[in-house]
Amino acid sequence: MNSPRRILYVVNDAAFFLSHRLPIAAAARAAGFDVHVATPEGEAARGIPRLGFAFHALDMTRSGMHPMAEARTILGLIRLYRSLAPDLVHHVALKAVLYGGIAARLTKVPAAVSVLTGLGHTFVANGWRARVLRRLVSGTFRFALGHPNEVVIFQNPDDQRAMLEMGAISSEGAVLIRGSGVDMREFSPTPEPDEPVLTVLASRMLWSKGIGEFVEAARRLRRAGVRARFALVGDIDPDNPAAVPAAQLAEWNDTGVVEWWGRRDDMPTVFAQCHVMCLPSYYGEGVPKALIEAAACARPIVTTDAPGCREVVRDGDNGLLVPIRDVEALAAALRRLIESRELRTRMGHRSREIAVAEFSVEHVVRATLAVYERLLSRKHES
């Protein structure tokens, strides 16, 4: 009797695996795979073995760049791949893609999948350090994504085009699967609550998510006499160089310009309480899951005309797109929706239709498992 095919997920954050990749891993297990997961240790990681997956502690920081620590991470992955001998490795997010890709090539893992969930801070930051780092990362990409039996999954066409132009991938090895998918039963439409209108920005508290622009837009609208509430929903991220300090968030909350709700694990309830979702991001997104969740809950959206964000929002249809870092345009777009219940209702209805048609978790799971079978059939043929 043949042993089950072994798949190893390598993710640089356990919480991200649980929130964005768990349905795919569960579907792979249901399809007969022997599923293993490697992430750094921590509170979230303790939930992985409780869900029945074999867990491997990964010595990896999300944003550290100390050469010795990074070398240890790559060597640890090489040892893991050699000892576990997976049939397929699935790397998720930038660091896991780069370091896992290097390890997969050096250990001759039979098949590899890499998912770029946006190009992130490295590709949007300014300054000479960022430019030098981008050059280094670009060269590493060409090696890490050079596995002979690999598919690179992109969440938006802008990132796919950037990697093609960089020469890091071939068109044959690229697949577009937009987003991580959302459970349309969990995130379902609810009636608009009573006014005043509540606009929510749900994300990690990073400047590059447009937090500062959102706060300034709220401040201007309040000064103009617009009757509305504005809330930031999300946790701080102290390991990220773009993190908004907790003291700043507390000051905004105390002065009343915006409310800071902190981390919430009941996002369907959050969207049921709000009227408008806003994400003025210039982070370098894949496809922001919070935008899909809000759309699934039939909420209109204001976001930036930027990669990833514009995948969910069609300007004038289910929301409004604004230029990045343009506070005046952001405030004007928010005011349009705050002052028109009819517009919110129409756009919210279209948001739900788009979410169901294009961004369900079932679609993402089917497309990803199809990639696995494609690669493993090649492995069989070779």
The reported pLDDT for the residue numbered 240 is 84
Query: 176, 141 in Cβ contact below 8 A?
Result: no
Report the Cα 110 to chain-centroid distance in Å. 27
Q: Are residues 309 and 368 in the same domain?
A: no
The reported pLDDT for the residue numbered 110 is 97
255, part of any domain: yes
Encoding tokens for residue 127? 């300054």
* Residue 131 main-chain phi, psi, to 5 deg: -65, -45
The reported pLDDT for the residue numbered 122 is 57
Q: What is the pLDDT of residues 195-215, one digit of tens each?
A: 999 999 999 999 999 999 999
Residue that wins the pLDDT comparison between 127 and 298: 298
Query: Which of 261, 316, 313 is CA-nearest to residue 290?
Result: 313
339, part of any domain: yes
> Whose structure tokens read 């806003």?
278
Encoding tokens for residue 95? 């660091």
47, part of any domain: yes
pLDDT averaged over the chain? 92
Q: Are residues 162 and 38 in the same domain?
A: yes
> Whose structure tokens read 């003025």?
280
Q: Are residues 236 and 334 in the same domain?
A: yes
Grade residue 167 by pLDDT with cuts at 50, 70 and 90.
Answer: confident
* pTM score of the predicted model: 0.91
Q: Are residues 98 and 204 in the same domain?
A: no
pLDDT higher than 70, residue 62: no
Q: How many angstroms separate the CA atoms of 49 and 256, rounded?
A: 42
Q: Encode 185-212 in three state secondary structure.
A: CCCCCCCCCCCCEEEEEECCCEHHHCHH
Q: Are residues 54 and 177 in the same domain?
A: yes
The reported pLDDT for the residue numbered 28 is 98
Q: How many angstroms separate the CA atoms of 156 and 160, rounded?
A: 7
Mean pLDDT lowest for which of 62-71, 77-86, 268-277?
62-71
Angle at 290 between CA 207 and CA 115, to 5 degrees: 90
Domain total for the chain?
A: 2
Grade residue 299 by pLDDT with cuts at 50, 70 and 90.
Answer: very high
Q: How many angstroms separate the CA atoms of 181 and 129, rounded?
A: 34
Tell me, what CATH number does 164's domain have?
3.40.50.2000
Which run of H or of E encompasses 364? Answer: helix 361-381
The residues with which 233 forms a beta bridge, in sequence order, are 202, 262
The residues with which 231 forms a beta bridge, in sequence order, are 200, 259
1, part of any domain: no
Q: Are residues 154 and 285 in the same domain?
A: no
87, part of any domain: yes
Q: How many angstroms separate the CA atoms of 337 and 343, rounded?
A: 6
Which are the contacts of 182, defined by CB distance < 8 A and separation ≥ 6?
A: 289, 292, 293, 296, 355, 359, 360, 361
Query: Which of 185, 141, 238, 264 is CA-nearest to residue 23?
Result: 185
pLDDT higher than 50, residue 109: yes
Q: Are residues 367 and 344 in the same domain?
A: no
pLDDT higher than 50, residue 380: yes
Q: Are residues 41 and 145 in the same domain?
A: yes
Q: Are residues 32 and 80 in the same domain?
A: yes
Query: 24, 92 in Cβ contact below 8 A?
Result: no
Which are the contacts of 158, defined by CB distance < 8 A and separation ≥ 6?
A: 307, 308
55, part of any domain: yes
Q: Are residues 364 and 341 in the same domain?
A: no
Domain coverage including residue 12 = 6-181+360-381
pLDDT higher than 70, residue 192: yes
Q: Are residues 353 and 371 in the same domain?
A: no
Q: What is the pLDDT of residues 310-354, one digit of tens each?
A: 999 999 999 999 999 999 999 999 999 999 999 999 999 999 999
Q: Are residues 367 and 235 in the same domain?
A: no
Residue that wins the pLDDT comparison between 62 and 247: 247
In this prediction, what percent of the chain has a pLDDT beyond 90? 79
